[in-house]
Amino acid sequence: MQHLDHGAVLSEIATLCKSGTRKLVRNALTKAPYDKAATNWDVTRQIEHRFSCVLPDKLTATNQHRSGRCWIFAGLNTLRIYLMRKYDLEDFEFSQSYLFYFDKLEKANYFLEKIIETASEDNDSRIVSHLVSSPMQDGGQWDMFASLVLKYGLVPKSVYPDSEASLSSPDMNYALTLRLRAAAAEIRRQLREKARPDVIQTLKRGILSEIQKILFVHMGEPPQAFDWTYYDKKQKQHTHKNLDPLRFYRDFLKIDISRFVCLVHSPRQKTPYNEMYTIDYLGNVIEGQKIRYLNVPIEQLKSVATLSLLKHDPVWFGCDVKKQFHRELGVMEMDLFPYNMLYDGDFSISKEERMLYGESQMTHAMVFTGVHLNQDKPARWRVENSWGDKVGDKGFFIMGDSWFDEYMFEVVVNQEYIPSKFKKLLTKPVRHLPPWDPLGALA
């Protein structure tokens, strides 16, 4: 094992001090944030919010605030376009808090069931350590979103608006996490003492009752029946009385989201293309849709996303939003921050290597609402985010097509937009990946 040579370190610092270029960069970065001092002007000056295909452009940007509900926002922002189209609405929002409430409850049940299932594992086994590391967080996946909608339905945001806890969830999550970890300890202790299954299930029901109390005091009661009044684009009033959430989803939206499928791009050798994958110990609704991915080359993600948009249907997607991204400008573009030039080093690493070495995975879900084609090929993508209207173009972002190649991981489209040769693959047996696999990351 070789140590750093103190003299060599000092000599290197002295050499850097003699470089005018290095000192100029130092002066900039010691006095200004990175995205202010080092943004590539050659990239930003080419920003153009113009697209050859755009879905309704009068949408108001939504805002998840200090919560990790992006996957729910992206799912509901996708579905609202269908409802707006059907009822001729200028704008509309589903209640994100409604699904958030039931996601918390379902995740608690899922966690407790997995704790029971892994009772024979040691406390410090990798799977138990994984389960208790984050028993209650905000993130999710498309299939988890679909499971909630299919079980609990939907309601307008006016019927169940945000609470303080849904706008800023850390305090509520702390209470939920603390109770679930205590529950895990108690359940595992009783199972070691050979408690009967019915005793464990009685214990679990009591714990879930306490979870409901935490959710109730932080978020209030979700509606079981409601009236919906709206005005169409001609300002004509319409009122529907005594609706329930499942009827609102089934009869008013009339979109079968169980027919939407997830295509992912994982170029690793351990995840060959044209195979179906699932992630062990990942989910929320026990009896709901299981996580299912079809892994395909990146061009297939582009192809199905483009076709869906050309048919005027939005596309839910998951990406690594933290890379080569300017939040204020709302731009995702390669070379936006030229690390090699800025630091005079080699930062090149392939997408496969980024996944293998913990540098990249899906971190955020958003919605494609447009694409600009150049000779029938995507050149840039219009992105609807859920961070309010103060960033990007009133909350809408631009994604360069080369950025798509490197940091896109998942798109969700209706099966009708998938080529027949890939539809046949959807029925293949799934390959299981461990919960810590990069494809198991939550948006």
- Averages of pLDDT over each 10 residues, the chain, 443 residues: 90 85 83 82 84 88 97 98 95 97 98 97 96 96 98 97 97 98 97 95 97 98 96 94 97 94 98 98 97 98 98 97 92 90 89 97 97 95 97 95 98 96 94 97 94
Q: What are phi and psi of 158, to 5 degrees?
A: -65, -25
**27 token code pair:** 């002066």
Among residues 354, 152, 180, the alpha carbon closest in space to that of 267 is found at 354
The C-alpha atoms of residue 200 and residue 303 are separated, in whole angstroms, by: 49
Catalytic annotation, residues: 70, 364, 385
Other beta carbons within 10 angstroms of residue 99's beta carbon come to 29
What pLDDT score does 330 carry? Answer: 93
What pLDDT score does 209 carry? Answer: 98
The pTM of this model reads 0.96
What pLDDT score does 350 carry? Answer: 97
- Give me the domains of the chain, ranges plus CATH numbers: 34-63+257-443 (3.90.70.10), 70-255 (3.90.70.10)
**84 token code pair:** 């707006």
**183 token code pair:** 């529950």
The C-alpha atoms of residue 368 and residue 161 are separated, in whole angstroms, by: 25
What pLDDT score does 36 carry? Answer: 79
Given a contact cutoff of 8 angstroms between Cβ atoms, the answer to whether 410 and 263 are in contact is yes
What pLDDT score does 21 carry? Answer: 82
What pLDDT score does 32 carry? Answer: 82
